[in-house]
Structure 1
Amino acid sequence: MFDFLMTPEQLKLRDEVREFVRSIPREYILDMDADKIKYPKDFIRECGRRNLIGIRVPKEYGGRGLKWVDDVIVAEEICVPGYIFGCTWGVTGDVVTEAIVHFGTEEQKKRFLPPICKGEKFAAECLTEPRGGSDFFGATTFARRDGDDFILNGQKRFIVGGEGADYFLVYAKTDLEAPPHKGMTCFMVEREMGVKTEYLYGLMGCRGGGTARVVFENVRVPKENVIGEVNGAAPIFYQMMVPERLGTAAMTIGAARPAVEIATDYTTKRKAFGTQIKNFQAVSFKVADAVLKLDTCRSVIYTTAVAADDPNVKASRLRRLVSQSKKFVTEQCWDAVNLAMQVMGGIAYTDVYPLEKIVRDLRLSMIWVGTNEIMTLISQHEWYKERAEELKNSNKRDSEADALNAFAAGEKIYE
């Protein structure tokens, strides 16, 4: 976020995260990318020690009790050493905690939130299945009743943090006869209940984040671990769109920023034809465009964060805003890092600079937590509903009439 929009407390928070990020050893970053580290437990533990997990979790449960505007400040900075740092931080401290804070019982909040916020326990959200991810309500993972417990069977895949997680937020069918949106339940499943994980994906980027296949074979889950209501997962899923998508968008800015900074410095130092290459507009204009994209993304993120903090903003409108933010920001950041790579030329395509890693990592941003095509689907759906409602009771000028032949007979035919 822009520093001129930050309060003194927010500037202090930003600098606190920057200091932490600077302390991460380069070897740790390289070992994650090489899959020598399969899940960054030391990083998450240190986040917990510094009280940087659960930024919006109430203080009484171990979080900071702050707002979305504060959260996006941390999200941008936490991703500077690599996108996967933000992914693992966000899943455990933003996404899973969101479900517990909003839908958990008091006992569940006291049980699960403090160890997550302290970095003592790690959490993952289990949504995507082998048959697909975007069709959430088409999930085939099933939990059947067995007395007061549920017996869970099924499989989730591409689960960020799955390899290291102690807690798994799992969505499963619990009523096969009910309509899809009324027959799913959300569970907090603990690893010791018999969860199996496999770290088996050769990822293009974002390595070292514990991305795993998660398998449930007759896993017994007590009713005390149901989050929300039985067959009531739909409201939880809709709420989770906010941290998944707004958080992802803010993180993407932080992951893209180093590419633009490195390209700026490189084009200042590098000379060709007797002058610094930044003096060629073919170079400097691309850098300017990349900076414009990042600044515009920050504007979008800040506005959406303000909306997320405002209880008067309708849930449907917030869904549109976070979906737009995720699509717009990830695509603009992708363009920005490619512009940065282009002005650096061949050297950026090697591992002499981290540009190639940033490009590999950022490609995930347009796919995970809902593809950008799904973001467009949600945006158009909510916008058409908003416009229809607005037409019923609007104090806006009717601009359709402002044309010379607006009332010409027989011209406006709709069927």
Structure 2
Amino acid sequence: MSIDQILTKEELTLREKVQDFVKWVPRQLLLDMDSDKVKYPKEFIREAGKRNLLGLRFDKKWGGAGMPWTSEMVALEEVGILGTSLGCLYSLFSIVGEAIHVFGTEEQKERFLIPMLKGEIGVAEGLTEPRGGSDFFAATTKAVRKGDMFYLSGQKRFVVGAEGADLILVYAKVEGIDDAKKAMTAFLVERGPGVEVEHVYGLMGTRGGGTGRLVFKDAAVPLKNVLGGEAGIGNGTRVFHQMMVPERLTSAGGAVGMARGAFEVAARYADKRKAFGRKIRSFEAVSAKVSDSLTLLDASRAINYMAAKTADAPVSAGQIRQVVSEAKKFSTESAWKVVNHAMQIMGGIGYTNVYPVEKMLRDIRLITIWTGTNEIMDLVIQHEFYKAFLTQKQKSRDIEPDAEGAELPDEKIYNDDE
């Protein structure tokens, strides 16, 4: 694989461990999930925990592996081959784990993070609402405090693991605080009374993960379950911004695996299938799609690796947001192109369930939408770029004065007032 030259020995070993885990996943589980016969694959999570493959970036004290983001990207690509649903369930331990690892109290890490990374409890994240998708602060779920107890009311939709997760990270506004950003608080909600699954979605793809709408009806959440304890009240905005890093990087990493899986099926097919007496991979139209797919996969790995290194570097939060958003946008859009190339190479048979390419196409369609649509990524990327670009000192050569007509001020008019 092209990325091998830049991986450490530890990362190459990790990849072999994850590949072995991915091979363990029963074929029947994948089929049953896609046909909605499975609502939440607990055995997948338990096995990943037993193999110490959950929470790779977190401190060994809590059951993690203490690895960098680059290592997790290696693992995410391999798990991504299984499709979006299992890739997402795997990523949720990185996403929810990030919140607890960064913002949680020692007691919360003991109670939740350790059993999570052992695969003993499943996790989910309640973020999106019917009235608040990309507009996070339009969320209306509220939390009313009475003594050392909060009562949550509201609903969250598109929650992967709604049907089976034991612990849900939920964002809600604390009543009595007018500023939405200061009111937003992150709660660790344990499944119990007042937490109800009111709808399980019929999805085009990404099935079998128990994706549904959760309704909170005065769900009691003790103060000790506020993320960060009492100091965490009103800290939800900080948590949200931090969480967008693992949300988007895991999407980018998994996208490469999903696309690679579909591409490899099509590449093998193109080497076997003959038309007009020749293997179809010898035809220019097919070979162009193969080369384009390989280039997109390698470019995605490169931008993902850069974003992963940046996420671990001592740089500004804005710089991290920009490159992580670039990785999510590029890798997911590339995956969509690659899976379409795969189907086109295979022709009509690729559109049937004789091969898994049609399932991968259904799965991959979602990843340009979730964790912030790619249109939102565009806004984030340009915003963070201009914020830095317009304030930084010019270090490289400014080529604007190198034009022959650069000293014609009457030709450089930028608005109606000049």
Same fold (TM over 0.5): yes
Q: 2:304 aligns with which of 291, 301, 304?
A: 301
> 1:409 Cα deviation (Å)?
3.0
Deviations 1:54-98 (A, max 9, x none): 11111111111111011111111012122211101101x111000
How many angstroms apart in 1 are the aligned matches of 2:193 and 2:390? 49
> For 1:286-313, what per-residue CA distance to the aligned partner results, in whole angstroms no more than 9, with x for missing partners?
1111111111100010111111111x22
Cross-structure match for 2:150 = 150
In 1, are the aligned partners of 2:199 and 2:214 still within 8 Å (CA)?
no
Matches within 5 A, 1:9-158: 9-91=10-92, 93-158=93-158
- SS of the residue aligned with 2:61? helix
Aligned partners of 1:260 and 1:234: how far apart in 2?
39
Instruction: Tell me the residue number matched to 2:181.
Output: 181
When the two structures are superposed, what TM-score results if normalisation uses the length of structure 1?
A: 0.97
Q: Give the TM-score, by structure 2 length.
A: 0.96
Q: Distance in 1 between matches of 2:207 and 2:132?
A: 21
Aligned mates of 2:195, 2:331 — CA distance in 1? 35
Q: Decide whether the 8 Å contact of 1:163 with 1:199 is kept in 2.
A: no
**Is it true that 1:276 corresponds to 2:279 in the alignment?**
yes
Q: Percent identity?
A: 53
Matching residue within 331, 334, 340 for 2:333: 331
**How many angstroms does 1:147 deviate by?**
1.4
Gaps of 5+ in 2: none
Native 8 Å contact 1:175 1:184 kept in 2:
no
Deviation at 1:199, TM superposition (A): 5.0
Residue 179 of structure 1: CA displacement?
A: 2.3
Amino acid at match of 2:275: A
Runs of 4+ in 1 over 4 A off after TM superposition: none
Name the residue aligned to 1:413.
413
Is it true that 1:291 corresponds to 2:294 in the alignment? yes
- Aligned with 1:410: secondary structure? helix
Residues 217-250 of structure 1: CA deviation (Å, up to 9, x unaligned): 0111111111132111111000001100011100
SS at match of 2:192: helix
CA deviations 1:81-135 (Å, max 9, x no partner) are 22211101101x1110000111011111111101100110011010001123111
Unaligned segments of structure 1, at least 5 residues: none
1:219 aligns with 2:219: yes
Identify the residue that residue 316 of structure 1 maps to in structure 2: 318
CA separation of 1:57 and 1:409: change in aligned 2, threshold 3 A: closer
* Counterpart-to-counterpart distance in 2, 1:17 and 1:187: 31
Specify the code of the residue in structure 2 equivalent to 1:44: I
Preserved CA contact (<8 Å) 1:79 1:255: yes
Q: 1:199 to 1:209 in 2, by over 3 A?
A: farther
Separation in 2 of the partners of 1:190 and 1:2?
40
Root mean square deviation of aligned Cα = 1.1
**Is the 2:200–2:210 Cα contact (8 Å) retained in structure 1?**
no
Contact kept in structure 2, 1:175 and 1:231, CA below 8 Å: no
Contact 1:163/1:198 (CA < 8 Å) preserved in 2? no
**One-letter code of the match for 2:335?**
C
